[in-house]
């Protein structure tokens, strides 16, 4: 390689960095950088009036799982916290499962439409996807609340006499999260099903496979990367959900996101809130790394 070429490559790389720099500075100051402060705060001592005292302590981390009993002078398992974690995890898993059960047939339906119609159906999925989460949560709340459309219709039809009390229960949060995160499941599933070779179905049916066997033994294994991608894309925001459980859970059925808020905005225990944030971040990052790995493998295996 001639020195001139080498210089050109070097200056191209330098210009690349210089052009990206302004964006990186803003991101470092107002997005990634402050995350480090959260790690630092998780190792400080809580101030009873809110905020922190700059003194090293692991109390914030310990408080995630243990609470101190002043009367017996010993640590006991923090049941209230564990209830919230457990609720967050199972609601997120249940949301993922429900969005899959509804989302898979939907994605399949879109992918098997004639090419001209497909764009229209996809657009119908993307509109809710980009619509304000708050508005969508609010809209589903209108439907399921005690005097909402669901109850008034059911009473009018004579199916029930007393309104179903759905809001402020875990069921309400589950319905709400399934509703708001459904597009996140459909879009990656659609992307993999669209590349699915329908001739494989012919082959399966020629070999006397039933529809169910074909679904289980041919379709699902091949679209697995899409299933994993969709599941993670739904699971991750569900686990960190804040708006939906706040509105539909009504402060009683808190999830981790709301619990973190409680530690900060109500000024309860900042180091605990910081430790919880770091923990949430670690879990989410781990899930996303799996996603990236699967997505890369999918891409390298993809043909056409």
Partner 1 sequence: MAERGFEISRLPGFATVAIAAFVILYLPIVTLVIYSFNASNSVAVWGGFSLHWYGDAWANQAVKDATVRSLIIGVSASVLSTTLATLAALGTTRRRAYRGQTLIYVMINQPLMVPEVVTAVALMIFFGIIKVATGYQGLGYLIAAHTAFCIPFAYLPIRARLESMDLALETAAADLYATPWATFRRVTLPLLAPGIMAGAMLSFVISLDDVVITEFVKSGGQDTLPTYMLGQLRRAFTPEVNAISTMLLGVTVVLLTAFFLLTRKKD
- Residue in 136, 166, 230, 231 binding partner 1, rule: CB under 8 A: 136
H helix or E strand, kind and range, residue 56 = strand 52-56
Say if CB 129 and CB 180 are below 8 A apart: no
Considering only 82, 265, 286, 290, the residue that binds partner 1 (CB under 8 A) is 265
178-197 residues near partner 1, rule: CB under 8 A: 179, 182-183, 186
Residue 210 in contact with partner 1, rule: CB under 8 A: no
Residues between 284 and 303 with contacts to partner 1, criterion CB under 8 A = 284-285, 288
Among 239, 254, 262, 275, binds partner 1 (CB under 8 A): 239
Range 61-100, binding partner 1 (CB under 8 A): none
Task: Identify the residue among 47, 108, 170, 268 touching partner 1 (CB under 8 A).
Answer: 108
- Count of residues touching partner 1 (by CB under 8 A): 87
Q: Candidates 58-66, 72-80, 83-91, 124-132: pick the segment binding partner 1 (CB under 8 A).
A: 124-132
Query: Is 235 a binder of partner 1 (CB under 8 A)?
Result: no
Sign of the alpha-carbon torsion through 259, 260, 261, 262: positive
Nearest CA to 94 out of 169, 174, 173 is that of 174
CA–centroid distance for 126 within its chain: 17
Q: Which residues of 79-108 are buried (b: 16+ CB within 10 A; e: fewer)?
A: eebeebbebbbebbebbbebbbeebbebbb
Q: Closest distance between partner 1 and the C-beta of residue 269, in Å?
A: 13
- Three-state DSSP at 253 gives coil
Q: Is 133 in the site for partner 1 (CB under 8 A)?
A: yes
297 vs 267: CA distance, rounded Å: 45
Which of the residues 3 through 32 are near partner 1 (CB under 8 A)?
Answer: 9, 12-13, 15-20, 22-24, 26-32
> Closer to partner 1 at the Cβ: 77 or 124?
124
| Token pair belonging to 132 | 């304000």
């Amino acid at each position: 390689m001639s020195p001139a070429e080498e210089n050109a490559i070097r200056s191209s790389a330098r210009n690349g960095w210089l052009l990206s720099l302004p964006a990186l500075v803003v991101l470092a100051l107002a997005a990634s950088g402050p995350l480090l402060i959260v790690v630092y705060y998780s190792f400080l001592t809580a101030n009873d009036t809110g905020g922190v005292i700059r003194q090293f302590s692991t109390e914030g981390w310990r408080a995630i799982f243990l609470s101190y009993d002043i009367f017996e002078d010993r640590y006991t398992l923090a049941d209230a916290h564990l209830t919230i974690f457990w609720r967050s995890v199972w609601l997120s898993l249940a949301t993922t499962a429900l969005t899959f059960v509804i989302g898979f047939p939907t994605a399949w339906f879109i992918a098997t439409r004639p090419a001209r119609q497909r764009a229209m159906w996809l657009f119908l999925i993307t509109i809710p996807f980009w619509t304000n989460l708050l508005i969508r949560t609010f809209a589903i709340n209108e439907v399921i609340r005690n005097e909402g459309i669901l109850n008034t219709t059911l009473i009018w039809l004579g199916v029930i006499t007393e309104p179903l009390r759905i809001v402020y229960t875990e069921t309400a949060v589950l319905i709400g999260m399934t509703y708001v995160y459904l597009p996140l499941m459909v879009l990656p599933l659609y992307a993999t099903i669209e590349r699915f070779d329908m001739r494989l179905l012919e082959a399966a049916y020629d070999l006397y496979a039933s529809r169910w066997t074909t679904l289980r033994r041919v379709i699902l294994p091949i679209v697995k990367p899409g299933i994993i991608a969709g599941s993670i894309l739904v699971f991750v925001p569900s686990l960190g959900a804040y708006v939906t459980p706040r509105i539909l859970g009504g402060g009683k059925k808190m999830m981790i996101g709301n619990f973190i808020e409680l530690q900060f905005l109500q000024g309860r225990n900042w180091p605990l809130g910081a430790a919880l944030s770091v923990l949430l971040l670690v879990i989410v990052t781990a899930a996303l790394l799996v996603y990236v790995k699967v997505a890369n493998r999918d891409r390298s295996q993809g043909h056409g």
